[in-house]
Amino acid sequence: MKPVRKLAAAATLVALAGLLRPVAAQDLVVDGDSVYVVSGPAIPDGRVVIRDGKIAAVGPRASTPAPAGVPVRHAAVVTPGLIDAHATVGLSGLLNQTQDQDVLDTNAPIQPELRALDAYNARDPLVAWLRSFGVTTVHTGPAPGATISGTTLIVKTTGDSVEDAVLVPEAMVAATLGPDATAKGDGKSPGTRTKVVAVLRQALLDAQAYARKRADDDESKRPERDLRKETLARVLSGELPLLVTAQSHQDIQAALRVADEFSVRLVLDGCADLALVLDEIVAAGVPVIVHPAMMRTGTESDPTANARLDDAKRLADAGVLFAQQSGYEDYVPKTRVVLLEAGVSAGYGLDFSKCLASITLDAAKILGVDDRIGSLEVGKDGDVALYDGDPFEYTSHCVGTVIGGSVVSEVVR
């Protein structure tokens, strides 16, 4: 089945997925012909037992008893709930109209104080649509397009409000280097790559000075709170990573340079010119959220021109910790599906285990939530995806999605 046809078919499931209202943490048993725990070997004829929303047991079905009276679901393939490592869903909505497009404020180049938390719409139908593919967690926030565009958040794809859904209210500070962060010929600043980096560097220097003054023992000498500088001070202290979207080699190099200068926790995003700077990324030891495999690339002069369908495999072969993403889609329906992006990477040489890890456990590690999600291990959240075949084959279907032991999406065949 072609990707477009699968997308159309999946869209019909949104209504069903939306009707299955999330409830409190529950007990559930999930059996699979193959259970991929990700943190260890796959279990043939396996079982996952969820109690009170948490995984209580994982093992072969023959030696893992199902508690009496607990509902049982079965699928050919069972995996951890999928994680989209970078998206804009919940801020970019289904309607594609002004009132549901909160992905970017261009009034100033530096606005780290803008919180995705304050705009996230848990009820948007696109959230339910992603959930119908087995996506249980999303790292979402502003789209690339400003030097610093705000803070991201990590949510479960469930609930009626951000309070119901939130896992990490402020996850990273999102920045962009390159042409996407420059003013578009209107005379505003920054107008060049050099100015973008200079503006970022100055903002970090200002935050350094602010943090020192706020720590003064003499309260009378402390400056008034400044949300902008306060947020960047959290980046400088290492509390919040700096997520930098950079596609061209010189912008990736600039990101590495700034991160080294200020000793910040850097997460690279995009990296279309990966082949040109892979050695430098490896040497720096920074994780990468690689561009969506099906990202539409530009012409020869565009920063995305060198993006390749096998970039995820390149990262895996080089030993770089990486995750896959849906990214920002500026065309209807305003979001991609990370499962389908990963399927393309699998088709271009990324082996099954690495591919699955890049949308589960490795994504959780980059996001700093691997103690809660990303693998089927005792004590972790009971988030599970069920498929009727290989998840990376377009002819397969997600037949169930479980969050905290609750079945939040299900297809009865």
Band (pLDDT 50/70/90 cuts) for residue 184 is low
pLDDT digits (tens, 9 = 90+) for 50-68: 999 999 999 999 999 999 9
List domains and CATH numbers for the chain: 1-81+374-413 (2.30.40.10), 82-369 (3.20.20.140)
Read off the DSSP letter of residue 35.
E
Across the range 230-248, mean pLDDT stands at: 98
pTM of the predicted protein model: 0.93
Band (pLDDT 50/70/90 cuts) for residue 329 is confident
Q: Over the chain, what is the mean pLDDT? A: 92
In the three-class reduction of DSSP (H, G, I as helix; E, B as strand; rest coil), residue 383 is classed as: coil
Element (H, E) at 214: helix 193-214
Residues ≥6 apart with Cβ < 8 Å to 239: none
Band (pLDDT 50/70/90 cuts) for residue 17 is very low
Q: Are strands 28-35 and 43-51 parallel, antiparallel or unpaired?
A: antiparallel
The reported pLDDT for the residue numbered 296 is 87
The reported pLDDT for the residue numbered 413 is 66
Cis peptide before 190 (omega within 30 of 0): yes
Q: Is pLDDT of 140 > 50?
A: yes
Across the range 35-41, mean pLDDT stands at: 98
The reported pLDDT for the residue numbered 254 is 98
**Radius of gyration over alpha carbons of the chain, in Å?**
21
Read off the DSSP letter of residue 210.
H
Q: Is pLDDT of 22 > 90?
A: no
Alpha-carbon distance of 18 to 24, in angstroms, equals 16
Question: What percentage of the chain has pLDDT greater than the value 70?
Answer: 93
